[in-house]
Amino acid sequence: MIIPLLPRLTDAELKEVTEIAAEFGVGIQTIHGAQRSIYALMGDETTQELINRIEGLPYIDRIDRVQVPYKLMARESSLAQHQITVGSRVLPGDFAVIAGHCTIDPNNRNFFLETAHAVKAAGADMLRGGVWKPRTSPHSFQGDAKSLDILLEAREVTGLPVNTEVMDFEQARICVDAGVDSLQIGARSALNYRLLQEVGRITKGTGTRVLLKRSMHMGPISEFILAGEYIVAQGNPNIMLCPRGTVPGMDGYRNHPDECITPLLKEKTWAPVIVDPSHSVGKAVYVPHAAIAAVAYGADGLVIETHCQPKRGVGDDPKQAITPDVLAQVIKEARGLHTRMKSMTKTLQAA
Ligand code: PEP
Ligand code: MN
């Protein structure tokens, strides 16, 4: 990872570095962080001669070599200073809540608008609403592109930034063009490396956040972090990692809750961890408990399915959406606990 002396290279400097790297068959990817840009050498192994040549340039401070397979996502990466905003919250550091419907019902615009106002009043920082949905059965409601207008209207009237899932390149393109604030890559798509790359590529430099769910089939932690690496390696560092439960599910729960991987993720990578307790336990009455557990594990935020009238919702909402009143209580407890956890972590680090 090339660290320039000044916050970023000039075009001429970047051209020179790119040409040197090309002599060794290595590409350069620019990643614009909040404070400075870094330049990743895109090759599995880079020779010492290449490192020496680039490090010898007068406008280069140094080259950091990262030993783990996720060069950009690693805690030792120069991107570790990168921060991501969710509404007025800055992560890591603050605590952010994303809430709203699993699925927007295109025939019930008012429900979504009512929920949007209510989650804002409850203290949420970002609004979620599924426009297109990955459904287990092809006969189930698959979402509707018309719902994107409803999502954007809700953003307009509440001022909350919005998050929605994209399952293919076309949906991602539509969302980026529409200025959707955060693209969700769902658990089913988290292993679709081509989609991860495409999303990374088209969101580069746009400021768009990407909420990457953990695939329910992912095992080693590195598999999840490397999925994030696909996006960051295309130039978008605004990534949030989202544990959401794995299979086989724990008896009685929808999935096997995995909020416990949060401290491990936070040790290995700088990316904020936003836990999804809704899909993890899969039943509204368990969700507040799983949500608070995630905060105790050190999560930077939560994404929670919330509906003003869950039983009249579509998709997962009738089963697992909590109401805005419950959300308000969860947020209050979560924020208090997050603050206490931060000071506990500081004390432990100092010990
Ligand atoms: C969702 O958030 O509604 C969803 C489908 O999530 P996941 O991809 O985690 O199943
Ligand atoms: Mn859902």
Take atom 8 of ligand 1 and give the residue whose Cα is closest: 186
Ion ligand 2 residue ranges (Cβ < 5 Å)? 102, 316
pLDDT above 80 (res 27): yes
- 186 in contact with ligand 1, CB cutoff 6 A: yes
- The CA R_g of the chain, rounded to the nearest whole Å, is 21
Give per-residue pLDDT as tens, 152-205: 999 999 999 999 999 999 999 999 999 999 999 999 999 999 999 999 999 999
Mutating to test ligand 1, I would choose from 98, 101, 162, 244 the residue with most ligand atoms within 8 A of its C-beta, which is 244
What does DSSP assign to residue 80? G
Give per-residue pLDDT as tens, 220-244: 999 999 999 999 999 999 999 999 9
Of 33-37, 168-172, 201-205, 337-341, the range with the lowest mean pLDDT is 33-37
Q: How many CA atoms lie within 13 A of 77 on its CB side?
A: 28
- 187 in contact with ligand 1, CB cutoff 6 A: yes
How far from each other are the two terminal CA atoms of the chain, in whole angstroms?
32
Q: Which CATH superfamily is domain 84-350 in?
A: Aldolase class I (3.20.20.70)
Collapse the DSSP code of 53 into the 3-class scheme (helix H, G, I; strand E, B; otherwise coil) and give the result.
helix
Atom of ligand 1 nearest to the CA of 130: 3
What CATH architecture does domain 2-63 belong to?
A: 2-Layer Sandwich (3.30)
Per-residue tokens: 122: 């409850």
Q: What is the Å distance from ligand 2's center to 320 Cα? A: 8
* Contact (CB, 8 A) for 292 and 319: no
Where exactly does CATH 3.30.70 map onto the chain?
2-63
Instruction: Quote the CA–CA distance of 85 and 102 in Å, as a whole number.
Output: 22
Q: What's the gap between Cα 235 and its chain centre?
A: 15
Take atom 3 of ligand 1 and give the residue whose Cα is closest: 102
* Contact (CB, 8 A) for 272 and 301: yes
What does DSSP assign to residue 277? H
Backbone angles phi, psi at 2, to 5 degrees: -90, 125
Where exactly does CATH 3.20.20.70 map onto the chain?
84-350
- 307 in contact with ligand 1, CB cutoff 6 A: no
Q: What's the gap between Cα 103 and its chain centre?
A: 19
Instruction: Quote the CA–CA distance of 257 and 280 in Å, as a whole number.
Output: 5
